[in-house]
Structure 1
């Protein structure tokens, strides 16, 4: 049975094996929706790199981190559609989260290329996007077809390990980068 409700970060993250001490990149963090629970999961020895192109989103993420006393979150402005746009080193993180940004990205492939570049072998990528048939989508013409995005990511050498309902309006896909 799918989780109830619009989109609950704690429920979504139950589908992703985030461990203490890991480094996680959140591509398109927005107001830090996932960053507080991620920061709590990785603990003080872990790190959350929270990327967004919008300064106001980063300020909100920074304020939430302070409010919840989660000090391992590093909000950073980045254009993830540019080559090496995150500024992270190659294979420098254990996990990459790409949640609700592909429908906004004119160059989805470039965002995914950057995610694959920074992900270590054996690391995992979590993609969250709007369901194809959801009529409440903010920009209906820009929905990201689940089968198409799976094909694109598989073509980049990742392996699909899990599909799940990420709330009542979204799907989740977990991929692993080959060792």
Structure 2
């Protein structure tokens, strides 16, 4: 209890936008684009009704392989994804520089939100490449379109996924990127099966998750994952670890291929502070 209290205090002091994000996930409700900054959505009757409607489904699928599944971030918290401090806090360009992204590739930003990473991916694959930007909330995709239009990026394809359809075409991707997304998937095994089918023979799935092992990361425990837990879940779904990157301030970066790919597996290198 003391540890949880201390961690919450850390969040309040060092990462106030994270609090707003979590409130946005816990209190879904309508919000205009003007409200999608760092403020939580209104706690109104309609929002509470929506939360009550979702509760039975959440209870049915609340755990996977001993891990509690976190709620999906609501679009009303999208401003947190483009907060001014994100570059300093997460160093996203360092992440992208560590990935095998080349011009002409077809890549996927799965759980793209308002397109924070989609825009950079589009620049890296270039006009001859393509970025599938997939999300389950149409409002997020609309925010993405509002950002891509003025930039003239025509190689981003927004795709609306559903509980029944992942939006991932088979044998298509050189790379599928999930940034702080995997821990929120309500059906991890089903999504991983779809991802596996969508990869080219040596295509990679890259999971980026806040470090559970690091108490200094100002994110609540429900929204963190440990390296061993990630690897356990991915290996159980016919993936193998082929690379890892440990130089981001807050996040693990673990790269996987299908278990039948030609790339050699590596042993997990435990994170050390």
TM range (shorter): 0.7 to 0.9
Map of 2:124 onto structure 1: 41
Map of 2:222 onto structure 1: 141
1:76 and 1:116, CA in 2 relative to 1: closer, same or farther beyond 3 A?
same
- 1:18-38: CA deviations, max 9, x gaps? 011111111100111111111
Q: Which runs of 5+ in 2 are unaligned?
A: 1-86, 263-273
Map of 2:197 onto structure 1: 117
Higher RCO (C-alpha under 8 Å, 6+ residues apart): 1
Question: By how many angstroms is 1:166 displaced?
Answer: 5.8
1:98 to 160, 170, 178: 178
Question: By how many angstroms is 1:108 displaced?
Answer: 2.2
Q: Secondary structure at the match of 1:85?
A: coil
Map of 2:90 onto structure 1: 7
Map of 1:89 onto structure 2: 169
> Are the counterparts in 2 of residues 128 and 166 from structure 1 also a CA contact under 8 Å?
no
> Are the counterparts in 1 of residues 133 and 159 from structure 2 also a CA contact under 8 Å?
yes
> Are the counterparts in 2 of residues 5 and 167 from structure 1 also a CA contact under 8 Å?
no
1:127 to 184, 207, 212: 207
> Are the counterparts in 1 of residues 210 and 250 from structure 2 also a CA contact under 8 Å?
yes
Greater gyration radius: 2
The range that moved more, 121-130 or 160-169, is 160-169
> Are the counterparts in 1 of residues 91 and 249 from structure 2 also a CA contact under 8 Å?
no
Map of 1:173 onto structure 2: 254
* Residue 52 of structure 1 pairs with residue 107 of structure 2: no
Q: Secondary structure at the match of 2:115?
A: coil
1:5 and 1:162, CA in 2 relative to 1: closer, same or farther beyond 3 A?
farther
Provide TM-score, normalisation by structure 2: 0.58
Provide TM-score, normalisation by structure 1: 0.86
Give 1 or 2: higher strand fraction. Answer: 1
1:107, 1:124 → 2: CA distance? 20
1:38, 1:166 → 2: CA distance? 20
RMSD of the TM alignment (CA)? Answer: 2.0
Q: Which runs of 5+ in 1 are unaligned?
A: none
1:67 and 1:8, CA in 2 relative to 1: closer, same or farther beyond 3 A?
farther
Question: By how many angstroms is 1:165 displaced?
Answer: 3.0
Question: By how many angstroms is 1:49 displaced?
Answer: 0.4
